[in-house]
Amino acid sequence: EIPNHELELKNSLLQATKQHTEVAAIHIGFTNARHIQSHFGYRAWDQVIARYRERLGRCDKIEILTARPTSTDLVLIVKTKLLARHLEKLCHKLVEIGHSEFKLDDHNVHLHSYIGIATSLDTDNAIELLKQASAAMVSCKDSGHKFCYHSQVFSDSLRQINQLESYLLRAVRNDELMLYFQPKVSPTTHRWTGAEALLRWRHPVLGDISNETLIHMAEQNGLIFEVGNFVLRSAIEKTSQWAKQVDNFKMAINVSAVQLKNAQFADQVRELLNTYQLPARYLELEVTESCLIADEVVARNTLRILHQLGVTLSLDDFGTGYASFSYLKKFPFDCIKIDKSFVHQLDQSEEDKEIVRSIIHVAKKLKLKVILEGIENQSQEDFIISEGCEFGQGYFYGKPMPCDEFEAGLLNQNYAHPIETKVL
């Protein structure tokens, strides 16, 4: 196994240099592997690892080059740009998958893991990179952390994140956050039927900080309720204005796992809708699978209440998880949003076309609306029109834009082609 790792890493490191990308080795040690092997046998353990790798599936922004198991561990080799930004998200996903159930005979087992990461930012030597990842995994066991970085560069990045979190606390208190809006469009008419509200923070020194980074930081330092309330209140207030001028306009807001676990979240949404006298049908809440995994019982109850209110519920990033279709049965979703990882290669990959076509077909049978995100060219639009997809979203139609710019475009619905937009 190890020589294969070394050869794959050498090739990956060489290609990364040419493509200006970065490579990481991720060593996952499963502490209960021997227990599972002794109770259920080595063949059962192989099945568990195979299912683990299947559930990992596609990861947005990160390419998994290989995933090779050893007797008790699993080593991933991954490649991406902006490695520091995306690796932590992958590691959280690895931990979540381990916490999920794996059925063996009549028993359900979970995987307890420690994860060590080493990156090409510190070394371009394949053997050294594997050793560093292994050492970081051992360090995790000793420290009790779920995952650890070997890299000094990553230690610096994490210190910067901690600094950002302290800045965020001040930003929330000083009302420095803002919303950008990306249009959702009918592909046959190019009319803007709604928008997705995306959080932005323009730091005076660090510049624009994205929605994904902001939400993650807010969840980590306990500010997600304040930040989430800002997004809900601001988006609902704007929607109450636009809905008076545009027929059937719908505002989509991303809901975090922390918000969905809060038993008072549905009441908060109801109160804001009443405050701004906005009918619930104008609001759409986008929920990812990771939100549902966090606490399925509370999530089901909260979504049931919201659905009864008349709020549209959308299952976001559909197809990237390992239980997407089962969630359509368990939860009262009205819409699915097919992940952009399936859309990027639509005009080149017959496999992706068949996957998207199948999802749309199932959605229609279940009377669910479908939106495809990540539409970037005419060929992709032609495909979704041919398959009868109702809504599209992506740079082909419009980038996320400040409130004034979005409002101007929304109220000017006389165009026949995608309009040019700018991002500040």
- Distance, CA of 72 to chain centre: 29
CB atoms within 10 A of CB 107: 12
Which helix (H) or strand (E) covers residue 327, if one does?
Answer: helix 324-330
The SS3 call for residue 249 is coil
Residue the block writes with tokens 């000793």: 142
Backbone angles phi, psi at 337, to 5 degrees: -115, 105
Q: Using CA atoms, how far apart are residues 262 and 319, in angstroms rounded to an integer?
A: 26
For residue 95, what pLDDT is reported? 84
Domain 160-410, CATH 3.40.50.410 — does that match? no
**Shared fold status for 2-150 and 160-410:** no
Stretches in the chain below the pLDDT threshold 50: 1-3, 153, 414-424
CA angle 351, 59, 262 (to 5 degrees): 125
Amino acid at 97: I
Strand partners, 371: 337, 391
The SS3 call for residue 248 is coil
Per the structure block, which two tokens stand in for 129? 């990179």
Amino acid at 198: L
Backbone angles phi, psi at 105, to 5 degrees: 55, -120
CB atoms within 10 A of CB 68: 15
Per the structure block, which two tokens stand in for 360? 């749309």
Q: Is 162 exposed, middle or buried (0-12, 13-18, 19+ CB in 10 A)?
A: exposed
Give which of 316, 330, 310, 264 is closest to 287, Cα–Cα.
Answer: 316
For residue 371, what pLDDT is reported? 96
Please check whether residue 313 is in contact with residue 335, taking contact to mean a CB–CB distance below 8 angstroms: yes
Q: Using CA atoms, how far apart are residues 136 and 133, in angstroms rounded to an integer?
A: 5
Q: How many residues are recorded in the chain? A: 424
Question: Torsion angle, CA of 339/272/334/330, rounded to 10 degrees?
Answer: 90
Domain ranges across the chain: 2-150, 160-410
Long-range contacts, 147-151 (Cβ 8 Å, 24+): 147/91, 147/94, 147/95, 147/114, 147/115, 147/116, 147/117, 148/114, 148/115, 148/116, 148/117, 149/117, 149/118, 149/119, 150/116, 150/117, 150/118, 150/119, 150/122, 151/117, 151/118, 151/119, 151/121, 151/122
The SS3 call for residue 340 is helix
For residue 421, what pLDDT is reported? 37
Helices (H), 64-200: 83-99, 126-143, 152-173
Buried b (16+ CB within 10 A) or exposed e, 391-420: bbbbebbbebbbeebbbebbeeeeeeebee
For residue 337, what pLDDT is reported? 94
CATH of domain 2-150: 3.30.70.270
DSSP 8-state assignment for residue 320: S
The SS3 call for residue 108 is strand
Is pTM, for the whole model, over 0.85?
Answer: no
Amino acid at 385: I
Give which of 120, 125, 131 is closest to 10, Cα–Cα.
Answer: 125
